[in-house]
Amino acid sequence: MVNRFDFRLGITRREFIALTSAALASTALNGQNSPAIANDRHRPRFHLMPPSAWMNDPNGPLYWRGRYHLFYQYSPVISITGPKYWGHAVSTDLVHWRNLGIALAPTPGGPDKNGCWSGSAVVHNGVPTLVYTGATWSSDSEFAERRKGLVPERQMVAIAADPDDENLTTWTMIPRNPVLAAPPAGMKVVGWRDPALWKEGDTWYMVIGSGEIGKGGMALLYSSKDLRDWVYLHLLSTAKPDSSLDVSRPWASMWECPDFFFLDGKPILLVARGNGYLIGTYSDQ
The reply to whether 103 falls in a domain is: yes
Q: Residue 57 belongs to what domain range?
A: 13-25+52-279
Quick check: helix, strand or coil at residue 25? Answer: helix
- CATH assignment of the domain containing 181: 2.115.10.20
What's the rounded Cα separation, in Å, for the pair 217 and 234? Answer: 14
Total-model pTM: 0.85
Active site residues: 57
Query: Distances in Å between the alpha carbon of 108 and those of 26, 112, 116, 135, 156?
Result: 28, 8, 12, 12, 15
The reply to whether 45 falls in a domain is: no
For residue range 8-31, what is the model confidence (pLDDT) as tens digits? 334 455 444 444 433 333 333 233
The reply to whether 39 falls in a domain is: no
- Give the pairing of strands 171-173 and 153-160: antiparallel
Please confirm whether the linkage preceding 178 is cis (ω < 30° from 0): yes
The reply to whether 37 falls in a domain is: no
Which of 78-87, 151-160, 247-256 is the least confident region? 247-256
Tell me what the pLDDT averaged over the chain comes to: 85
What's the rounded Cα separation, in Å, for the pair 222 and 220? Answer: 7
Quick check: helix, strand or coil at residue 15? Answer: helix
Tally the domains of the chain: 1
How deeply is 1 buried, as exposed, middle or buried, from its count of CB atoms within 10 A (0-12, 13-18, 19+)?
middle
For residue range 99-151, what is the model confidence (pLDDT) as tens digits? 999 999 999 999 999 999 999 999 999 999 999 999 999 877 888 888 888 89
The reply to whether 228 falls in a domain is: yes
